[in-house]
Structure 1
Amino acid sequence: GKSLADGLTAEFRMKRWALTLAALLMLPALANASLEKTVSTMLANNQYMGMVNDNELGRTVIAIGLGMHRKASVAQEIARQDAMKSLTAYLKGERISSVERASQSWKGDTVLEEYYTSLTSNVEGTLKAAWNFNTGEHDGMTYNVMVISERSRDFSELFEKHDSIVEARGVASLSSGVEAARTTALNNALRSAVEQYGGVQMASKTTIENAEALRAKLSTVSSGHVQRYTVIKEYQEGNNYFIIISAEVSDSPPDGQQQILAIQENMGRPSFAIQTDRPEVDRLMRELLATSGFEVSSSPNSARYTIKTDISKYEYKAMGGMTGLQTTIKVRITDRFSSDDLINVSSDPNNSVEISDSATIREQNSLSYAMEDLQPKLTSAIKKQFISQFNNGSKIQVTLKNFDRMRDVDELRACLESLPLTKSVSVQPIQNRSANYEVIYLGDPASLQLDILKHSRSFSLRGLKAKNTDTKAVVLSF
């Protein structure tokens, strides 16, 4: 009885899966007419987000993203991510904070009144089964349409982890030729397959200042990767090239490597400099970082992080009259934008034991064992720190020197707090006409100095200049 029931259950699952795939293949064709009309209306009305009730799809959310770039494929990707961000914000909610104030600025010795407004928004969320409807040109910009509906949500619930075969569609503009369009459409289909399988996580920080400058940091991380795929159908329609694939998707690489790579891109791909007087340690540390996907710089001045190592050895008499050796490697990582140590980790000496009559063999093998023990600890600590800095901001030290009035200290603090990506500012005790500020900053620390100087014109900070120094991250003086 049980084997018969199991057989019927398996047969039912296969039929349900076949019907699901057939329906999924029909989905774009069924939706094309009504969605095409809705998208055209939205574009004509400059409406880039909306929800409609569709006969085939049910309640459907449509997001239209815009992008501009001299390369069509890049413009389309910018538009696609813009649409995904809008879709996430619509479904998950968007946190918005704003600052408005009237402030003084100086032009020579003339005081000017200036109205300043800034707005910061943050979006975080996970989407499954959002699909790429089409792309095109509108008012000189590239647009991309992303859709999520009741039907697509129902489909996503059938894509359980053990069901690794996913049908996905990609679309690209024909403006750059058929060959380029096919490549872009295929890449979009592969990305869509991964997103449908495991969902897409997005973290976005967008800043608008005085409605003039737009700065966005967007990280898109998909959980999974395509092992193999088959092209089911490809066709041209209007100005677009469409491709439908069947893809086998597996879980993402271990330790969230895709997420770390995306975060590194958003952090400006920071590099590490290694400081050690032992060539073999330098070589092993470079191999360790490269294997883990971290960049190594040959110049300490161009690297954001500095790795310093302290190596200690313990020799003892072992059995048979031979000599044993234990090696301990302590690693300290500093951030040139902060006065605090970023990471402190060390290897376990018990995992580095080498017993030999040869001093050379003892040294080489014991050091190698210590590095093997250190690698997972170090890479895990770096990844956790990257994720923390991306989500919570970096701690940056800003120093103001040679000020004449305490008002200058207060004005610089107000200036720092006005920056849209500043999370918090604290002032440390003042010594010898030097004021130190601890700033938690959500943006790229490399751009903080320029942001301060730009915004200082809106405060009573005439003559404020940046001072070059090798010891502090940001040093300012009059």
Structure 2
Amino acid sequence: MSFVKLYSQVGAIAIAILLAASTAFAVEATGEGIDRNQALNSALRTAVEMQIGTAVASESLVESGVLVRDEIVSHSKGYVTSYKVLQEGATADGYVITIDAVVNSDLLYSDYTTLAILQKMSGLPRLLIFGSGAGFNSVPPQSMQELVHDVARTFGKKFQFEVIDWPMSRAKYAEIEGSMNLKKAVKFNSLLKADYLVTVDLKLPEHANPVMHMTCVRISDGLKIGEIRRPVEKYVSLSGKPADVYSRAVEAAKPETYWASVRLARELLENMESELDRGKGFRYTLTFLGFPELSHIGTALEDVPGFVRKEVKRQNGLNMEVAYWSTLRPENLLKRVSTALKDLGVEKFQSRINGRNVRFRWQNPEGF
């Protein structure tokens, strides 16, 4: 189920809950085209564009909604409840028509409110965004602050994520020295309190245009949520001082930043939506250390309430790592699995939870 499908399923509920009454406005709009149908569609798009400007003060829908203005306007017929033709006729270049269209502004808000519901149901996830600078042919992180900030602005303003823009926030976390990476994000996440990280890398291959490379990873278990590679249209010469080359590359990549961010944000939102789908569940990593009878534990996991599916990733002697999908939240899953272990007769074990990682160790070993 794609994120767009969420609108058809939740949109009506969102409107019913968050919007008290339907608000429709009549808008006079004119459209031109090579024939009547094209001219009418143009007039409908114009009417919706006009209503976006009047119904949404400070452009909150355009800046915060998951769909950008062009995509909203492309579905104009869905927002126009009725229209009356005021004037129409053929011209030397085609056809022109003027209509009086009734535009329902509540429907314009539905995409925005649905996104807000998804964010709230997912626990208002926090993103850590930084330049990775991976590889010898990449722009260094310190030279990509503008790009990182642009990416952070897209995720924050248009998709309503709470964003930790690392270049802007590093002074707050003086304990974290040097460049940010996944290992540090995991190590210091008690400070950062991030749910996902987004890396921004700008590669500079020889005799080819730069390539913007962005990835999104869930910090709790290291799962890669999405990855985008977007070629930069403008060629950048590698001749000259490195600082000048990096500056030219960043400037050339700016036009690609927005759309690369949008594509990656949608992948993340679709992942969040799929986890809220009760049939698919949340993905966890369950680790069992030092346990005998692992086969019995594997079978017992399938009887835990909320179980969707599982996949044994590693099993060696007394240790096992399982990718586990459940409709339960982390704390409830920990309790249910602990109960299942006790029902098997395993009384002495320790458990620890870190985001989506849930670990169990038998017989209270040292250093756990």
The normalised TM-score by structure 2 is 0.52
Indicate the structure whose relative CO is greater, using CA pairs within 8 Å and at least 6 residues apart: 2
AA in 1 matched with 2:296: D
1:452 Cα deviation (Å)? Answer: 2.7
Q: Does the CA-based 8 Å contact 2:148-2:200 persist in structure 1?
A: no
- CA distance 1:127–1:417, shift in 2 (3 Å): same
1:390 to 276, 282, 306: 276
1:374 Cα deviation (Å)? Answer: 1.0
- Distance in 1, matches of 2:203 and 2:12, equals 49
Q: Does the CA-based 8 Å contact 2:10-2:114 persist in structure 1?
A: no
Q: State the secondary structure of the residue aligned to 1:287.
A: helix
- CA distance 1:269–1:131, shift in 2 (3 Å): closer
1:400 — aligned with what? 288
1:410 Cα deviation (Å)? Answer: 1.6
- Distance in 2, matches of 1:464 and 1:474, equals 13
- CA distance 1:353–1:372, shift in 2 (3 Å): farther
Cα deviation digits, residues 211-270 of structure 1 (max 9, x gap): xxxxxxxxxxxx99xxxxxxxxxxxxxxxxxxxxxx96332348x332222122112122
CA RMSD of aligned residues (A): 4.0
Q: State the secondary structure of the residue aligned to 2:108.
A: coil
- CA distance 1:460–1:306, shift in 2 (3 Å): farther
- CA distance 1:477–1:127, shift in 2 (3 Å): same
The normalised TM-score by structure 1 is 0.41
> Is the aligned partner of 1:477 residue 2:361?
yes
Q: Does the CA-based 8 Å contact 2:314-2:322 persist in structure 1?
A: no
Cα deviation digits, residues 177-210 of structure 1 (max 9, x gap): xxxxxxxxxxxxxxxxxxxxxxxxxxxxxxxxxx
1:259 — aligned with what? 114
Q: Does the CA-based 8 Å contact 1:345-1:378 persist in structure 2?
A: yes
> Is the aligned partner of 1:372 residue 2:258?
yes
1:268 to 123, 144, 159: 123
- Distance in 1, matches of 2:259 and 2:214, equals 12
1:310 — aligned with what? 201
Cα deviation digits, residues 415-439 of structure 1 (max 9, x gap): x334332212233452142112221
- CA distance 1:417–1:426, shift in 2 (3 Å): same
- Distance in 2, matches of 1:366 and 1:464, equals 56
Q: Does the CA-based 8 Å contact 2:196-2:216 persist in structure 1?
A: yes
Q: Does the CA-based 8 Å contact 2:216-2:264 persist in structure 1?
A: no
AA in 2 matched with 1:285: V
1:435 — aligned with what? 320
- CA distance 1:363–1:342, shift in 2 (3 Å): same
1:343 Cα deviation (Å)? Answer: 0.9
1:424 — aligned with what? 309
- Distance in 2, matches of 1:446 and 1:370, equals 41
2:229 — aligned with what? 346
Q: State the secondary structure of the residue aligned to 1:371.
A: helix
Deviates more, 1:269-278 or 1:381-390: 269-278
- Distance in 1, matches of 2:10 and 2:270, equals 19
Q: State the secondary structure of the residue aligned to 1:251.
A: helix
AA in 2 matched with 1:308: T
Deviates more, 1:332-341 or 1:433-442: 332-341
Q: State the secondary structure of the residue aligned to 1:419.
A: coil
- CA distance 1:446–1:273, shift in 2 (3 Å): farther
Q: Does the CA-based 8 Å contact 1:268-1:444 persist in structure 2?
A: no
Which structure has the greater CA radius of gyration?
Answer: 1
1:288 Cα deviation (Å)? Answer: 2.5
For structure 1, which runs of at least 5 residues remain unmatched after alignment?
1-123, 133-155, 166-222, 225-246, 317-324
Q: State the secondary structure of the residue aligned to 1:269.
A: coil
Q: Does the CA-based 8 Å contact 1:305-1:334 persist in structure 2?
A: yes
- Distance in 2, matches of 1:423 and 1:312, equals 40
1:84 — aligned with what? none
2:329 — aligned with what? 444
Q: State the secondary structure of the residue aligned to 1:326.
A: coil
1:128-207 map, 5 Å: none
- Identity in percent: 12
1:55-70 map, 5 Å: none
- Distance in 2, matches of 1:336 and 1:376, equals 20
- Distance in 2, matches of 1:390 and 1:283, equals 29
- Distance in 2, matches of 1:359 and 1:467, equals 48
1:249 — aligned with what? 105
Q: State the secondary structure of the residue aligned to 1:342.
A: strand
Q: Does the CA-based 8 Å contact 2:200-2:214 persist in structure 1?
A: yes
Q: Does the CA-based 8 Å contact 2:202-2:211 persist in structure 1?
A: yes
AA in 1 matched with 2:360: L
- CA distance 1:309–1:449, shift in 2 (3 Å): farther
- Distance in 1, matches of 2:156 and 2:266, equals 14
AA in 1 matched with 2:250: Q
